[in-house]
Amino acid sequence: MSNDESDLIPTGTCWCGCGAKTARGSFFVRGHDKTSESAYIAVYHKGSVPQFLKDHGFGPGNSIVQKAVDEAGWTTCPRCDYVGAPASVRKHEKKCTATKGN
């Protein structure tokens, strides 16, 4: 099985398997990406996010969030400790009124 995203091509049908038609360029009908994640965790990790993280070597002492910062381009809000994908941090910053250190 390849981990290369270049071989992922939207097909016009939802990748969760429901059979619904998707918008052009989309893999999922709205919300079905999260449904698919939950279903995967239910089937392979006893429905538990902590079990999922443990099964992949993460948890206390080995942060998946830090790995996302180090290897997947995640960033931190300059005004607080919020961490996420760049688009998520930009959206957060528009509402953030915190000041680090306070």
pLDDT mean values, one per 10 residues, the chain (102 residues): 74 97 97 97 97 97 97 96 96 90 60
Domains of the chain by residue range? 10-48, 63-102
Tell me, what's the pLDDT at 6?
73
Tell me, what's the pLDDT at 99?
80
Cβ proximity of 41 and 49 under 8 Å: yes
Tell me, what's the pLDDT at 7?
87
Helix H or strand E encompassing 83: strand 83-84
Instruction: Using alpha carbons, select from 72, 99, 102, 77 the residue that is nearest to residue 90.
Output: 77
**Residue 64 CB neighbour total at 10 angstroms:** 13
pTM of the entire structure? Answer: 0.75
Instruction: Using alpha carbons, select from 41, 43, 38, 36 the residue that is nearest to residue 53.
Output: 41
**Residue 57 CB neighbour total at 10 angstroms:** 9
Tell me, what's the pLDDT at 1?
47
